[in-house]
Amino acid sequence: MIKIKFTNRLNQSGLSLVEVVASIVILSIILLSFFTMLVQSAKTTKTSEEIIDATYIAQTEIEELYAYSAKNPFPIGNFEANIFPNFHFIKSKNENGIEEYYYEKQESAYIILKVTPKTIASTNLTRVLIQIYDKKNGTMKAQMENTLEWGT
């Protein structure tokens, strides 16, 4: 004779609908935080790349001007034609009345070079400031400053 045993189904353990929904909500919150972190990381990486590129451009311009200044005396009179004849220079005066020279170069950014000629006749020192601006929104991405001693 075969005996069939029936068990009480009320004692069986399993997942209820509330437990499944709660686990889905918790998992969604965790995944959303990871997704937000990845998006923010991508934005930070892009901004860092732009700043590094702008700094490289500024460094290159400073090195070109340094190479010229080491071999040549400070050009008096037609400064813009002697150093960078291929760029359009704008001559202006700052708040102290000292002449400064600006130029804009079209690449991935706008480059503004400010060269303040020597203010003391006995020195060969000149202040050079290069600023790199973003083409899209006009914000400054990098700035580099140096003091150059001109050759004799």
Per the document, the length of the chain is 152
Whether residue 3 is contained in a domain is answered as no
The encoded tokens of residue 10 equal 């009320």
For the whole model, what pTM was predicted?
A: 0.67
Distance between CA 61 and CA 57 in Å, rounded? 6
Whether residue 102 is contained in a domain is answered as yes
Residue 53, domain extent? 16-149
Whether residue 142 is contained in a domain is answered as yes
Domain count of the fold of the chain? 1
Highest mean pLDDT: which of 21-35, 55-69, 96-110, 129-143?
21-35
Select from 94, 145, 152 the least CA-distant residue to 119: 94
pLDDT single digits (tens) 77-97 = 555 555 655 555 666 666 766
